A and B are shown apart, each in its own frame.
Chain A
Amino acid sequence: MSPHETTAGWAEEAVREHAGSPHPSREEQVLERIARARARKPRIREERITLSHGAGGKATHTLIEAVFLEAFRNPLLEPLEDGASLVTAAGRLAFTTDSFVVSPLFFPGGDIGDLAVNGTVNDLAMCGARPLYLSAGFILEEGFPVADLQRIAASMARAAEAAGVQIVTGDTKVVQRGKADGCYVTTAGVGMLERDVVLSAAAARPGDAVLVSGPIGDHGITVMLARGELDISADVVSDTASLHGIAADLLDAAGDGVRLLRDATRGGVATICNEVAVASGVAVVLEEKALPVRPVVNGAAELLGIDPLYVACEGRFVAVVAPEQVAAALAALRAHPLGEGAVRIGTVGEDPPGLVLLRTAFGGTRIVDLLVGDPLPRIC
């Protein structure tokens, strides 16, 4: 095809599109082909693990689905929610686990210890459960200062007490110097599902509102700056906190209107919205103007060339709520100290299914996709 035919092709299509022709344009046909390609079962192509596989974006999803889901497939794992819900004689239990490799181990507003407790407590809270018991596993590098370990343990104990959970079992391994970076922590937790609600990424419906419990991106930017690799300093601290209290208040106030809760950790708010769009087969439309981002976080993110929508939080969550419960939900969130900055950031729509769109402050529209690659490694 000569380039001139190509040009004429665009022009014709534009006119046809304008006339409201029901035939999809050539561009739309390409878009449909891409949507089909994306819906295919993910295959892992790399021969080795790269940092992208841990970033929470597309590569992480592919790894989980192609390796772990493939090997472990069962109905409890398959929904890939933050935790599994188990039916026992004693009632319904939520069960989850999470590993922490943050660097540096100590940063403004927290450390790997409270992160490890809050992370698992929050995964349980996001299932709608009351967190009860945690386990803690430590991988320590030869030469790691005992004083640092004591500091981490003390911070875990404080976080556990604040969250009303007990750390009831644990494990410790030490590896040779150079085979790990100081200290890694893995926690697992169980909680009781006492409410009669089913929260799921697949439950969103057109018309629902998308809420976030407060300013986003604080944790990721704090850790990034704490590494001191970038000569920027900013007045920002991690938002790490346990969310079971505020989540319970929200469920009390908006009950069956709450479709799902997700804490916006690795991959940020953008990743959660993508999970919702795909699992529910809906469009999620976000309003750029409504996104709560602190000016310092915005400024640092701009310098780093990253979008705050992808930056991890450790004490914020996204809630998708039925339209009639939005007012009650926002009121409940704002009444809690951790939710003073709660706002509505978007709406669930029908078309295009599986995509997240952002209406920019500038007045345009764009896609917010899953992240490829790894702009902020070892944030949690």
Chain B
Amino acid sequence: MRYVDEYRDGDKARALATAIAASCEPGRRYSFMEICGGHTHTIYKHGLEDHLPEAITLVHGPGCPVCVIPMGRVDDAIALAEQPDVILTSFGDMLRVPGGRGSFLDSKAAGADIRMVYSPLDALKVARNNPEKRVVFMAIGFETTTPSTAMTILRAEAEGIENFSVFCNHVRVVPAITAILDSPDLRLDGFVGPGHVSTVIGCEPYEFIARDHGMPLVCSGFEPLDILSSIHGLLQQFADGRCEVENEYARVVPWAGNPKALAVIDEVMEVRETFEWRGLGWIPDSAMRLRPEYARFDAEQIFGVPGVRVADPPACQCGEVLRGAIKPWECKVFGTACTPETPIGTCMVSSEGACAAYYNFGRFSRSRVKEATAP
């Protein structure tokens, strides 16, 4: 744990907070979007906003893999789970995501065999241990987790496991950022770039953001100090009159990414022409599917998924939250009709979702609490 504690040190945080406050141009306000849901979670879990001056607003972006899954895909997955002899395996985060007709948890309670796994390899193990069943893995995630799904398919092929397939919902981060940059209600000054995704794709794919859109991006690690120092890096760029892509997370992220992981993805998967994102709609080139050569591991091919389309509930403002157009608490149903127990939108489900992070960790008045808890 020592390695981690080093990046959670309160004294270092206070020193950085002072530097951040000093780097802000007086009278100017800054809005920075952290793209990655892991960052959103870290920000709330460690109370990072307590270290930021009032001039800085953090806007939570679309980088939560669970949050971007549209309701129709949940219904499709449930339809898979209800087929005879199917075991649907999924990350725990997905279990409570509401589809058009309930969640995995509801479907499980009604008799479907849905099991929680920690990795696609766990799902493959389920397939190995249950040869008489057909095991489907609900694959979700950005480029961070795509390689492990692809590797698992290669492993299944190598071992000759024929009762395993993947319902592929892997998405790509750059098209999502492009969609945000193109949205009319954009009002951002810069980005805290995703760390884990960048370990795979590197920093190069973000260069167009600085070049074509005039916004700096600092690729950040996942510890709270990483995020503070990335924010400091963004402010430094403004102070120096620079606009670049920088890599704060160089201890893990190579500038050119991980060519091996990229090759594995490319071997097994190809880019879909378009994919529906919760709240953001259809985004071109924004997701992956299995290549025809691997069709026998593709649940969409094997089972003929219904391809359900479900409109988001009218009360749901997830799209605006995912684009950073409103803060979670500004959604009309936040915390009353939509809570982690009874989520209406996906952002309330995953611990990386902005609404859940705010509800679980940040649902109090910081100004009042500062007085009450002063040491």
Contact = CB atoms under 8 A, between A and B. Distances in A.
B48 A50 contact: no
Contacts of A6: 325-326, 330
A30 B105 CA distance: 30
A176 interface: no
Contact of B47 (A11, A47, A360): A360
A171 interface: no
Contacts of A358: 47
Nearest to B104: A50
B325 A3 contact: yes
Contacts of B46: 360, 362, 364, 366
Interface in A325-352: 349-352
B336 A33 contact: yes
B372 A364 contact: no
A24 B367 CA distance: 11
User: Which of A58, A359, A360 has the most chain B CB atoms closer than 10 A to its own CB?
Assistant: A360
Given A4-B187, A30-B329, A365 B1 contact: no
Contacts of A37: 335-336, 339
A340 B368 CA distance: 37
Given A361-B10, A363-B47, A28 B365 contact: yes
A196 interface: no
A49 interface: yes
A34 B335 contact: yes
B106 A48 contact: yes
B329 A366 contact: no
Interface stretch (A109-117, A212-220, A239-247, A297-305): A297-305
A295 B365 contact: no
Contacts, number: 159
A175 interface: no
Interface string B346-375: 000001000000011111111111101101
A230 B118 contact: yes
Interface string A1-19: 0111011001100100110
Contacts of A28: 365, 368
B341 interface: yes
B224 A362 contact: yes
A62 interface: yes
Contacts of A27: 327, 329, 365
Interface residues of B, number: 63
Given A3-B325, A298-B1, A357-B373, A366 B47 contact: yes
A296 to B, nearest CB: 9
Interface stretch (A119-127, A129-137, A367-375): A367-375
B360 A31 contact: no
B92 A375 contact: yes
Contacts of A362: 8-10, 13, 46-48, 51, 224-225
A17 B367 contact: yes
A363 B51 contact: yes
A49 B109 contact: yes
Interface string B59-71: 0000000000000
Interface in B91-128: 92, 95-96, 105-106, 108-110, 118, 122
Nearest to B91: A305
A352 B369 contact: yes
A375 B92 CA distance: 8
B337 to A, nearest CB: 8
Contact of A31 (B351, B365, B373): B365
Contacts of A14: 54
Contacts of B25: none
Nearest to A295: B1
B336 A299 contact: no
A352 B368 contact: yes
A198 interface: no
B204 interface: no
Contacts of A365: 47, 50, 364, 366, 369-370, 373
B8 A361 contact: yes
A4 B326 CA distance: 10
Interface string B12-31: 01100100000000000101
B336 A367 contact: no
Nearest to B52: A364
Contact of B44 (A2, A51, A298, A366): A366
Given A34-B336, A365-B373, A50 B105 contact: yes
Contacts of A359: 47, 373, 375
Interface in B318-335: 325-327, 329-330, 334-335
Given A49-B109, A62-B341, A351-B372, A364 B49 contact: yes
B369 A46 contact: no
A157 to B, nearest CB: 36
A41 interface: no
Nearest to B183: A3
A52 interface: yes
A285 interface: yes
A40 to B, nearest CB: 10
Interface in A222-257: 229-230
B118 A31 contact: no
A355 interface: yes
A59 interface: yes
B372 A366 contact: no
A45 interface: yes
Interface string A316-331: 0000000000000000
Given A6-B325, A7-B31, 20 more contacts: A27-B365, A33-B336, A34-B334, A51-B105, A230-B118, A351-B372, A352-B368, A357-B364, A357-B369, A362-B9, A362-B13, A362-B46, A362-B224, A363-B50, A363-B51, A365-B369, A365-B373, A366-B46, A367-B360, A372-B360
Interface of A: 2-4, 6-7, 10-11, 14, 17-18, 24-25, 27-28, 30-31, 33-34, 37, 45-52, 58-59, 62, 229-230, 283, 285, 295, 298-299, 302, 305, 349-352, 355, 357-367, 369, 372-373, 375
Interface of B: 1, 4-5, 8-10, 13-14, 17, 29, 31, 44-51, 54, 57, 92, 95-96, 105-106, 108-110, 118, 122, 185, 187, 224-225, 325-327, 329-330, 334-336, 339-342, 351, 359-370, 372-373, 375
13 contacts: A24-B365, A27-B365, A45-B342, A47-B109, A48-B110, A50-B105, A58-B341, A359-B375, A362-B9, A363-B13, A365-B47, A366-B46, A367-B360
